[in-house]
Amino acid sequence: MKILVAVKRVIDYNVKPRVKSDGSGVDLANVKMAMNPFDEIAVEEAVRLKEAGMASEVVVVSAGTAQSQEVLRTALAMGADRAVLVQSEAELQPLAVAKLLAAVAARENPQLVLLGKQAIDNDAGQTGQKLAALLGWPQATFAFKVEVDGQQLAVTREIDGGLERVALDLPAVVTTDLRLNSPRYVTLPNIMKAKKKPMETLSPEALAVDVAPRLKVLEVTEPPARKGGMMVPDVAALIEKLRNEAKVI
């Protein structure tokens, strides 16, 4: 089984994002970037399936600028075999990414495509679902556990208040949730080894994909600043404030 894993370069989750002064988006100048955390989980799962003898090859793919090579190298250091960069300077919205991934899947013929459930920069949560629709493949989102059983996949999904187990025929698309696994740390020897692993660069034009944006961001705003808390002497004072100041009761 060949596995294709989609990885996105996003603002590091430890960094507090700042909105640009004109409200047109998040300021990415001199900001630390990293692999989207849910995609690290997807790479880890693919590498574990390979280590368990369930997968023959793990190919990682990213769409974005040349700097996306960094996250692809990290994925190679985690144990992926090969990388594909679809290089573009354009703003790539989920539909465009899904079309690019579908075109890469048509070339690579994977039996499983793993994606994160959500990119932590745009919080779209759309790409996996759109990819499955474009390919006409079954999909399981929010994976908590993935088990391969011949030509079938059993995926346990995180749903409100519990878990759901579904069976899908391969080829399939799966998106990862937080508790699927804990990604490994990359070691220096593996970073060195990753430098020698193959990385192919393609373009949206070579894949015949129109990546033109379909929606326009009108405005991005910071969440309102939190007001400071205060101590109240007793329950009566609390009720008085909730009723007359906050007006919530």
Is 11 one of the binding residues for ligand AMP (CB under 6 A)? Answer: no
Distance between first and last Cα of the chain: 59
Closer residue to ligand AMP (CB): 214 or 227: 214
Nearest residue by C-beta to ligand AMP?
A: 116
Which residue from 34, 95, 102, 119 is in contact with ligand AMP, where contact means CB under 6 A? 119
Choosing from 1, 4, 8, 181, the residue that interacts with ligand AMP (CB under 6 A) is: 8
CB nearer ligand AMP, residue 34 or residue 63: 63
> Does the protein bind ligand AMP through residue 142 (CB under 6 A)?
no
If one asks whether residue 116 binds ligand AMP (CB under 6 A), the answer comes out as yes
59 binds ligand AMP (CB under 6 A): no
What DSSP string runs through the chain? -EEEEE--EEE-TTSPP-B-TTSSSB--TT--EEE-HHHHHHHHHHHHHHHTTS-SEEEEEEEESGGGHHHHHHHHHHT--EEEEEE--S---HHHHHHHHHHHHHHH--SEEEEES--TTT----HHHHHHHHHT--EEEEEEEEEEETTEEEEEEEETTEEEEEEEESSEEEEE-GGG--PPPPPHHHHHHHTTS-EEEE-TTTTT-----SS------PPPPPPPP---SSHHHHHHHHHHTS---
> Does 124 participate in binding ligand AMP (rule CB under 6 A)?
yes
Distance CA 144, CA 162 (A): 11
Instruction: State the nearest-atom distance from the C-beta of 61 to ligand AMP, in Å.
Output: 6
Which residue in 97, 112, 174, 209 binds ligand AMP (CB under 6 A)? Answer: 97
The answer to whether 15 contacts ligand AMP (rule: CB under 6 A) is: no
Stretch that binds ligand AMP, among 27-35, 90-98, 147-155, 224-232 (CB under 6 A): 90-98
Can you read off the two tokens belonging to residue 99? 């079309």
- Smallest gap from residue 24 Cβ to ligand AMP (A): 19
- Which range touches ligand AMP (CB under 6 A), out of 12-20, 31-39, 105-113, 206-214? 31-39
Encoding tokens for residue 81?
């075999």
Record the tokens describing residue 102, joined without a space.
Answer: 């579908």
25 is a contact residue toward ligand AMP (CB under 6 A): no
* Nearer CB in complex with ligand AMP: 90/239: 90
Binding residues vs ligand AMP (CB under 6 A): 6-8, 36, 38-39, 62-64, 92, 94, 97, 115-116, 118-119, 122, 124-128
